């Protein structure tokens, strides 16, 4: 009769321990997927920001050409205040392009931090499952020892 009780305790303990580990592995796997998704989103944010910055620069070049044409049509030479206006406009346009890149890099940084947090949580979840399984096994051993 004691052997039967020991077998039942052992089977129950093993099943509970396995269940704890599987549960934590499942949760950790989901967190790993979330982390991977955040990493992909971060890379996409950088790519989109670089594309927007390139678009701003292309638009700037078109506008610079238009500004030069307007200045030339008014007889303003490539020296003096006309040049200053063009230089200021070019600088403002480049600042806009840099801002686009900065925004994308900032968003990517936030997404990467979120990915790291998810990965850390996944690691903690895995360890928690192992500790829970060890606790279950320990309690099972105590119970078996009391039989």
Q: Give the model confidence (pLDDT) of 116-129 as tens digits.
A: 999 999 999 999 99
How do the domains of the chain map onto residue ranges? 2-146
Euclidean distance between CA atoms 117 and 19, whole angstroms = 25
Coil, strand or helix: which one is 28? helix
Distance of CA 21 to the CA centre of its chain: 26
- Give the model's pLDDT for residue 97: 94
- Give the model's pLDDT for residue 6: 83
* Residue given tokens 């499952």 in the structure block: 129
Q: Extract the tokens encoding 52.
A: 């927007």
């Amino acid at each position: 009769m004691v052997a039967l009780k020991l077998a039942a305790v052992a089977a129950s303990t093993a099943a509970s321990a396995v269940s704890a580990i599987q549960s934590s592995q499942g949760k950790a796997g989901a967190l790993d997927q979330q982390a991977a998704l955040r990493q992909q989103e971060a890379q996409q944010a950088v790519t989109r920001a670089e594309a927007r910055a390139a678009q701003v620069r292309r638009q700037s070049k078109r506008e610079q050409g238009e500004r030069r044409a307007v200045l030339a049509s008014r007889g303003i030479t490539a020296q003096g205040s006309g040049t200053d206006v063009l230089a200021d406009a070019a600088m403002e346009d480049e600042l806009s392009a840099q801002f686009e890149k900065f925004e994308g890099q900032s968003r990517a940084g936030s997404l990467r931090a979120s990915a790291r947090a998810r990965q850390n949580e996944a690691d903690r979840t895995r360890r928690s499952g192992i500790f829970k399984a060890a606790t279950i096994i320990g309690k099972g051993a105590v119970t078996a020892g009391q039989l």
